Amino acid sequence: MKITCKDVADVALLSRLEFSEKELETFTGQMDAILEYAEVLNKVNVDNVEPTAHVLPLKNVMRKDEARPSLARELALSNAPEQEDGYFKVPKIMEG
Amino acid sequence: MDYEIVIGLEIHTELKTHSKIFCGCSTKFGSEQNTNVCPVCLGLPGVLPVINEKVVEFAVRVGLALNCEILPFSKFDRKNYYYPDLPKNFQTSQYDLPIAVNGHLDIVVDGQTKRIGITRVHMEEDAGKLVHSGNTINDSDSALVDYNRTGVPLLEIVSEPDMSSPEEARAYLEKVKAILEYLDVSDCKMEEGSLRCDANISLRPRGVKKLGTKAEIKNLNSFRSVQRGLEYEAARQEEVLDEGGRIIQETRTWDENKGISLSMRSKEQLDDYRFLPEPDLVPVIVDPAKVEEIRTNLPELPDARKQRLMDSYGLSEYDASVITTSKAMADYLDQGVECKADAKAVANWLMGEVSKHLNNDGISILACPVAPKQLAQLIALIEKGTISSKIAKTVFEEMWTSRKDAEVIVKEKGLVQISDSSEIIGIVDAVIAANPQSVADFNAGKEKAIGFLVGQIMKQTKGRANPDMVNSLLRERMTSN
Amino acid sequence: MELFKYTAAQLHQKLVSKEISATELTQNVLARMDAVENDVKSYITETRDSALAQAKAVDTKISQGQDISVLAGVPGALKDNMCTKGVTTTCASQILANFVPPYDATVVEKLRAEDAVVVGKANMDEFAMGGSTENSSFFPTHNPWDLSTVPGGSSGGSAAAVAAGEAIWALGSDTGGSIRQPASYCGLVGMKPTYGRVSRYGLVAYASSLDQIGPITRDVTDCAHVLNSICGYDAKDSTSINAGVPDYTKSLVNNIKGLKIGLPREYFASGMDPEVERAINKAIEQLVALGAEYKEISMPHTEYALSAYYMLAPAEASSNLARYDGVSFGQRVEGSDIVDMYKKTRSEFLGAEVKRRIMLGTYALSAGYHDAYYLKALKVRTLVKQDFDKAFENLDVIITPTAPTTAFKIGEKTNDPLAMYLQDVCTIPVNLAGVPAVSIPCGFAGGMPIGLQIIAKPLGEETLIRTAYTFEQNNDYHKGFAPLGGVK
């Protein structure tokens, strides 16, 4: 077993997802199979190999510091599930 | 138990660029909610960031001013966490290869200079603003989000845990603020959020090397809060430890009104930010020649300016130090000198009456109603003997509220100093005649007795008599009798 | 007249010679959609009115004697993960079922500038995660060659639309094979350009360092025309290549004499359908007969590419998809507090495969596992890329099958995610290395199309086009039309 139901539950929390008991079990089984398959990565020697985060040799891609017109507020809010007074509205935020 | 305090500060500063770090929206403060936004800073599906070159330039400037090493290869990373002020639920920041590392700056506390290490300086984007429906976050049932601030460029400056007292922490913060102002990279207004400070503080028994458990304090919204908050926290931690308890590694929020810190959330469950290199941005490789160009073009920094004030104007180290803490104040001094006023005099006024009034009104020197030229004129009047320094204070009050020039006020209120002895000789003789006891006391050797007589004459002349002249006339007349 | 059976290049000639009008052409394609869409289900959203308006504008230009581009007036489809201003863009997910972007993707702007006609937003696997379009939260798309089979994925709707004549050309996106594999299953030409060749601005991100937009067309000529329209530097995309775009139609040359082709033995490993293997071998023999020189090569890290991909792509996806939270756009399930809202919204509106990849990705990045999985995968990526670099030192192109099988039956692999992943084994290494590749039809097995994959070095699209064109012109595979048979 590479991954347990508890591991999956922890990851679910980090991903802001919730699952029923049954779903959790199914997911755990599937993820376990995939991670088993990924074990093949341990067979390859990566000593002295640099990671490739970007496949292109690009660097220093930047733009000039010029202000450009923003989106009209109605458009910015056009997809808002809930809005109020030009703000996006969300349920309360708990601290701690 | 004798404890040693260990403090580290994390300072965030909003950079005064024209546009945001990854898009062209304006960074202007105080706009109507959600009017400085675009698909990119809203984090809509499909958008991509593009780095603002000014942000990198400012970051290098700050790194150099803080004596850091500018890393030749620097990159952006994603810091993943969920919060409604973060549209993408990740912040594009820098993790393992920040733009600048290993710097330091010197602070002076109680005449002692101390070097504070700076671990790193990195670039990142700001989040939006939340407005809660209730008074505090916990008694609100909803919240409103304004994304104007998302994407505003931030620099985060992290110090080594080298500060040993709240005073040192405050001095460090003031120094960093001064440097940022002199570099002209930020407005540094804590009240507007363009300068923010979080502190980490722990205690350890004196002599012990191992660091104690630290607590993070947030919501330190002014210099005063920083000092008070740390004083409170140091005392709180000492009490806990003395009672045999242990410090919990947590985030606490400072309540300035109540003067206490409260636990926000336990950091024992450390956030797992799952950093990964930002795939939508390519690395920043600053050309060494460009770094040198920026270095040579750095403006005069606070320490250099302080030295210049001491060398050119003969100011004391203390005075020069106080004045250069604020670039705006140092500029004011220079402007005053340009208007032909004596530097020391301007300095004294700045540190005295000007600062007093600024503090009372809660405004900065930039909003000072008395311009350098006007102050210079006031000083000139004192030097010429047109008014005494005591009257000058009254005139200054009037200048502050009415914004009129000193000369105008002196004329309007008839405050011109009387320096012609013939004008007051009559009053002097009358006061001598009316107070024979004081005269006798003085003649018997009580120097202090003259004070009363001077006071009487000042009263009768409504403060306009030249005090030195009054003094010498009195002595002349009393001894001659 | 069945105008929908012609290619864009052919239709352009008809428009310019005024044999037909753009309006007539668009109506013809719309009528075709009426006839077959119920069986094929290529589209999530049809944009009929704006298509006719676009066509009308082209007719006006023609009548005024203005020059028009090759795609002007020619109806096409856009995969529904490309933002179209004012038109719902769903990524086949419930969470974006009501999302109307306030901006156009750069490729969409480019196509508008050329007066291309867009008839609809094509179905796909949700958030481009899948190899069959069965992961669409709306409905599966059916392969026009046999309606009981999948069109491939994740650009299944784009491929099916072109194969069924519901579009003359289409754009898809490719992260692990999502253009090439559906092109292979649907008997079409599908190209994934060099990473950075086409702007990603406006393409809803799945795995940012792997995603690319590319054409799906009936033949190589049309592919070259679409590439001409969509390739190019974009200042809004920091990973965009700042280099001029050649006229790809100049590479439509029937000549591969002296072309050095390589066959990596690792791609011909077990699991391949024997009929597919036969067709590929025949194709290679033909290429040699046409003048190519071949040699067998080894790309030793091929076997690790799939695992590396299934660590990297989900890792990036877990971060890219965090924004789907019901706060400022998309659907929302109300909650007692914000965290409750996040969980309920995401759990209800994201599909199972998407959740699986988010979880895998989050796990791979999490403290304690980051180095073992994510970092290791990044290093394996370097090795895979080096395999390609080394190969191209002595070769012009690499030839492989596109997929190990032809299109499978709808429902056949849905219970086994891992089995689904294994379909990508030939296409994935290409994305890891960022090199360009094209799939072209090279035969049939049981009436179902087989695809041949040609891979070139970075910015080697011209070589791909020449190779593909030569093969195509010496065969008839591109001339067939899907029969739309089979039980749905």
Contact B237, B247 (CB under 8 A): yes
The torsion angles phi and psi of C107, rounded to 5 degrees, stand at: -65, -35
CB contact under 8 Å between B33 and A87, yes or no, is yes
Look at chain B and report how many structural domains it folds into: 3
* CATH classification code of A5-43: 1.10.20
User: Would you call C100 an interface residue with chain A, using a CB distance cutoff of 8 Å?
Assistant: yes
Range of the domain at B463: 421-480
Query: H-helix or E-strand containing C394?
Result: helix C376-394
Distance CA B434, CA B323 (A): 48
Distances (CA, A) of B164 to B4, B200, B203, B206, B393: 7, 12, 10, 11, 40
CB contact under 8 Å between C105 and B46, yes or no, is yes
Residues B402, B447, single domain; the answer is no
CB contact under 8 Å between A93 and C378, yes or no, is no
Distance CA B2, CA B414 (A): 62
Distance CA C330, CA C317 (A): 18
Best of C336, C341, C379, C384 to mutate (most A CBs within 10 Å, chain A): C379
Place of tokens 């008991």: A21
Average model confidence (pLDDT) across chain B:
92
Best of C103, C239, C319 to mutate (most B CBs within 10 Å, chain B): C319
Tell me how many helices (H) and strands (E) chain B has.
17, 15
Q: How far is CA B86 from the centre of its chain?
A: 29
Is C178 one of the annotated active-site residues of the chain? yes
Place of tokens 């020697």: A45
**Closest residue to A70, CB basis, from B38, B53, B144:** B38
| Residue range B107-133: mean pLDDT, rounded | 94
CB contact under 8 Å between C418 and A37, yes or no, is yes
Instruction: Note the pTM of the prediction, 2 decimals.
Output: 0.91
Query: Virtual CA dihedral for B118, B120, B125, B127, nearest 10 degrees?
Result: -50
Low-confidence ranges of chain C (pLDDT < 70): 270, 487-488
- C21, C132, C158, C178: which is the annotated catalytic residue? C178
Which among C44, C36, C29 has a CA at the least distance from the CA of C84? C44
The torsion angles phi and psi of C366, rounded to 5 degrees, stand at: -75, 155
Instruction: Sort out which chain B residues have CB atoms less than 8 A from A69's CB and list them.
Output: 24
User: Per-residue confidence at B194, pLDDT binned at 50, 70, 90?
Assistant: very high
User: Would you call C473 an interface residue with chain A, using a CB distance cutoff of 8 Å?
Assistant: no
User: Would you call B49 an interface residue with chain C, using a CB distance cutoff of 8 Å?
Assistant: yes
CB neighbour burial string for B330-361, b if at least 16 within 10 angstroms, e if fewer: bbbbbbbbebebbbebbbbbbeebbbebbeee
Task: Write down the pLDDT at residue C485.
Answer: 80
Task: Write down the pLDDT at residue B268.
Answer: 46
Which among C147, C145, C142 has a CA at the least distance from the CA of C157? C142
CA distance C127 to chain B (A): 11
CA distance A26 to chain C (A): 10
**Closest residue to C322, CB basis, from B89, B145, B281:** B89
CA distance A84 to chain B (A): 8
Distance CA B157, CA B302 (A): 18
Q: Which residue among B413, B444, B462 closes a domain? A: B413
Distance CA C412, CA B332 (A): 80
- C21, C42, C136, C154: which is the annotated catalytic residue? C154
Residues B305, B448, single domain; the answer is no
Distance CA B184, CA B327 (A): 10
Distance CA C330, CA A59 (A): 34
Q: Which residue among B413, B441, B471 closes a domain? A: B413
Query: H-helix or E-strand containing B182?
Result: helix B166-183
Tokens of C19: 């044999």
Contact residues, chain A to chain B, C-beta under 8 Å: 14, 16, 53-54, 56, 58-71, 73, 76-77, 84-96
Q: What is the DSSP letter of B354?
A: I
Task: Write down the pLDDT at residue C396.
Answer: 98
Sign (positive/negative) of CA torsion B285, B291, B294, B295?
Answer: positive
**Closest residue to B88, CB basis, from C103, C236, C322:** C322
Residues B315, B223, single domain; the answer is no
> Per DSSP, what are the bridge partners of residue B117?
B104
Place of tokens 């490739």: A52
Distances (CA, A) of C413 to A70, B382, C420: 46, 95, 6
Tell me how many helices (H) and strands (E) chain A has.
3, 3
**Closest residue to B19, CB basis, from A14, A67, A76:** A67
Residues B372, B426, single domain; the answer is no
Instruction: Sort out which chain C residues have CB atoms less than 8 A from A44's CB and list them.
Output: 301, 304, 380, 383
Tokens of C135: 């992961």
Residues B116, B206, single domain; the answer is yes
Does position B412 have pLDDT exceeding 80, yes or no?
yes
Edge-to-edge strands, sheet with C117-122 = C43-46, C117-122, C75-79, C169-174, C212-217, C189-192, C437-445, C448-455, C397-401, C260-264, C293-297
CA distance A23 to chain C (A): 10
Q: Find chains touching chain B: ≥3 CB pairs under 8 Å.
A: A, C
Q: Give me the CATH number covering residue B462.
A: 1.10.10.410
| Residue range B467-475: mean pLDDT, rounded | 85
Distances (CA, A) of B237 to B141, B204, B212, B219, B234: 34, 10, 10, 18, 5
Mark which residues 423-462 of C lie under 8 Å from A by CB: 432-434
**Closest residue to B284, CB basis, from A60, A77, A93:** A60
Q: Which residue among B413, B442, B465 closes a domain? A: B413
CB neighbour burial string for B182-217, b if at least 16 within 10 angstroms, e if fewer: bbebbbbebeebbbbbbbbbbbbeeeeeeebebbbb
Residues B277, B325, single domain; the answer is no
CB contact under 8 Å between A91 and B143, yes or no, is yes
> Per DSSP, what are the bridge partners of residue C82?
C203
**Closest residue to A91, CB basis, from C336, C363, C366:** C336
Task: Write down the pLDDT at residue A29.
Answer: 92
CB contact under 8 Å between B25 and A70, yes or no, is yes
CB neighbour burial string for C85-118, b if at least 16 within 10 angstroms, e if fewer: bebbbbbbbbbbbebbbbbbbbbbbbbeebbbbb
DSSP SS3 for C291? coil
Is C209 one of the annotated active-site residues of the chain? no
Instruction: Sort out which chain B residues have CB atoms less than 8 A from C203's CB and list them.
Output: 46
Distance CA C214, CA C197 (A): 10
Distance CA C366, CA A14 (A): 9
**Closest residue to B78, CB basis, from C81, C83, C319:** C319
Instruction: Sort out which chain B residues have CB atoms less than 8 A from A65's CB and list them.
Output: 17-19, 52-55
For the residues of B424-462, what is the DSSP string, one character each? HHHHHHHHHHH-HHHHHHHHTT-TTHHHHHHHHHHHHTT
Distances (CA, A) of B304 to B174, B338, B465, C476: 16, 19, 43, 80
Contact C445, C275 (CB under 8 A): yes
How is chain B split among helix, strand and coil, in percent rounded to 5? 45, 20, 35
Mark which residues 15-74 of A lie under 8 Å from C by CB: 15-19, 27, 30-31, 33-35, 37-38, 40-44, 46, 49-56, 58, 61, 63, 71
Tokens of B126: 């700001």
Best of C325, C344, C358 to mutate (most B CBs within 10 Å, chain B): C325
The 10s digit of each residue's pLDDT in B355-409 is 999 999 988 898 999 999 999 999 999 998 888 888 899 899 999 999 999 989 9
Residues B306, B251, single domain; the answer is no
Q: How many CA atoms lie within 13 A of B181 on its CB side?
A: 23
Best of B96, B144, B274 to mutate (most C CBs within 10 Å, chain C): B274
- Between helices B389-402 and B372-384, what is the axis angle to 10°? 160
Residues B281, B307, single domain; the answer is no
Task: Write down the pLDDT at residue B467.
Answer: 82
Distance CA C78, CA C101 (A): 14
Query: H-helix or E-strand containing B69?
Result: strand B69-70
Distances (CA, A) of C207 to B47, C37, C50: 13, 30, 31
Is C79 one of the annotated active-site residues of the chain? yes
The 10s digit of each residue's pLDDT in A4-45 is 999 999 999 999 999 999 999 999 998 898 888 888 898 999
Residues B343, B237, single domain; the answer is no
User: Would you call A8 an interface residue with chain C, using a CB distance cutoff of 8 Å?
Assistant: yes
CB contact under 8 Å between A93 and B285, yes or no, is no
Q: What is the DSSP letter of B351?
A: I
CA distance C40 to chain B (A): 28
- The burial class, CB within 10 Å (0-12 / 13-18 / 19+), for B220 is buried
Does position B479 have pLDDT exceeding 80, yes or no?
no
Instruction: Sort out which chain B residues have CB atoms less than 8 A from C370's CB and list them.
Output: 274-275
Best of C323, C359, C360, C366 to mutate (most B CBs within 10 Å, chain B): C323
**Domains of chain A, residue spans:** 5-43
The 10s digit of each residue's pLDDT in B285-309 is 999 999 999 999 999 999 999 999 9
Contact B464, B417 (CB under 8 A): yes
Tokens of C279: 């067709």
CB contact under 8 Å between C319 and B80, yes or no, is yes
User: Would you call B291 an interface residue with chain A, using a CB distance cutoff of 8 Å?
Assistant: no
**Number of B–C residue contacts, CB under 8 Å:** 99
Instruction: Sort out which chain A residues have CB atoms less than 8 A from B141's CB and list them.
Output: 91-92
Does position B417 have pLDDT exceeding 90, yes or no?
no
Residues 6+ apart with CB under 8 A from C27: C52
Contact B37, B150 (CB under 8 A): yes
Residues B217, B316, single domain; the answer is no
Mark which residues 16-75 of B lie under 8 Å from A by CB: 17-19, 23-27, 32-39, 42, 50-56, 75
* Domains of chain C, each with CATH number or no CATH: 3-262+393-479 (3.90.1300.10)
Residues B69, B218, single domain; the answer is yes
The 10s digit of each residue's pLDDT in B237-272 is 999 999 999 998 888 999 999 999 998 865 445 579
Q: Find chains touching chain C: ≥3 CB pairs under 8 Å.
A: A, B
ipTM over 0.85: yes
Kindly give the residue spans of alpha helices, DSSP state H, lying in C201-301.
220-230, 274-289
Residues B340, B447, single domain; the answer is no
Query: Virtual CA dihedral for C119, C121, C124, C126, nearest 10 degrees?
Result: -170
Which among B180, B257, B249 has a CA at the least distance from the CA of B222? B257
The 10s digit of each residue's pLDDT in B8-23 is 999 999 999 999 999 9
